Amino acid sequence: MTLRTLMQTAPAKANELFARLAETSDGAVKTREKLLAEIKSELELHADLEEQHLFPILRKHPETKGLVAVAIRDNKELRAKLAELDALPKNHETFLEKLAELKKAFRQHARDEKRELLPAVQRALNEDQVQDIAEKMETGMAEAEQIRHDQLEERRAIARQERERAELQAAQEEAEEQEQLAAAAEAREAVTRIAEAAGENARQITKNLGEGVNRVATASAAPLSTGLLFWDMMLGMASRQPTRVGSTPGRDALAAKDSRSEEAVIPLGEEVLTVAKRKVTTGTTRVHRYVVQTPVEQQVSLVHEKVIVERRRPVTDKSTGETLTELTVEVIETAEVPVVSKVVRLKEEVLVRTERTEHVETVRDIVRQDRVTIEHASKRRRLPAAS
């Protein structure tokens, strides 16, 4: 790569970045920060390469020494304007105005280098010196590009680690939530089993009490009999009721009252359906980004300058300049060559998000409840549980 091409690469890329940054709005703060950082990197790299490899050699030649001083002063002014713009809030009302000033100063600096500095370099240095400077600057640009690539990879690695850490944390939180739901379900099942056992015990106690009461009632209501009707009539046992020894009418009334005051409490229970919720994984959607390569072409108009030497007759034979001495005239031939650079532009964005919808689902199950059966000597009926 020639020195001219190297000197024109940075201005071409910087002008592209300037144009993209000027099209941003005040709300695009992150985009402005990113583009301004790229502009700063390009301008600083261009100035550093000139000051390290080109200017030290040009200072040794009297005809280029003054141009070096001007170029160094322009670089200082560019750095000052760049620092001022970098310190300014990216949504400030004067941001685009300061950007236009920086762009104007940089373009003037690039034009001065193309029209004055590069021709002076071609006159002052031989081809080997120019090629040596070009190789050093090209090596410096490659090293800077490698550093940028390494920094970008490092930022990507950090972002990937943070994303994996966030996914791991989300998975742990989901696992903890599942464990909590499982523990809650086990607790509900345990409570249900305890309630069922208590209900079974109550039913058994009620059954035992009912059987005891029935036995007592049956024994009290049975009359005394010999088994033969004749002897029962003779002995007066047909209508005889059992009495207690030493009983009195007052004592019998008190005993009847005590028997009527006895109570048996039978608890009646029922199951109530309780529906809880837990989160389950129904599927995973992955969006993978990959790079494809597409051949493209673009036509560009290039200008080529060629020195033409012609002989012609003078208008007059009168000498108007210095003659009869040695004279060398050098005319530099120039040609424009394509400078290929690629920039990344945001074409579109793919948004990955989750959307929640609610629906009502009917849960059906079977619940149990207690009922009682009341049996009398003459009839039997079934009563529902109290609601």
pTM more than 0.75 = no
Average pLDDT over residues 137-158: 82
Higher pLDDT, 251 or 351: 351
Give yes or no for residue 239 having a pLDDT over 80: no
The number of folded domains in the chain is 1
In a domain, 120, yes or no: yes
Task: Tell me, yes or no, whether 41 lies in a domain.
Answer: yes
Res. 16: pLDDT tops 60: yes
What pLDDT score does 50 carry?
83
CATH of the domain at 137: 1.20.120
In a domain, 86, yes or no: yes
pLDDT single digits (tens) 255-284: 444 445 567 788 888 888 888 888 888 888
For the stretch 122-144, pLDDT in tens is 787 888 877 888 888 888 878 87
Q: Is 264 left (phi over 0), alpha (psi -120 to 50) or beta?
A: beta
Q: Give residue 24's domain range.
A: 3-176
Q: Has residue 288 been placed in a domain?
A: no
Residue 361 has pLDDT above 70, yes or no: yes
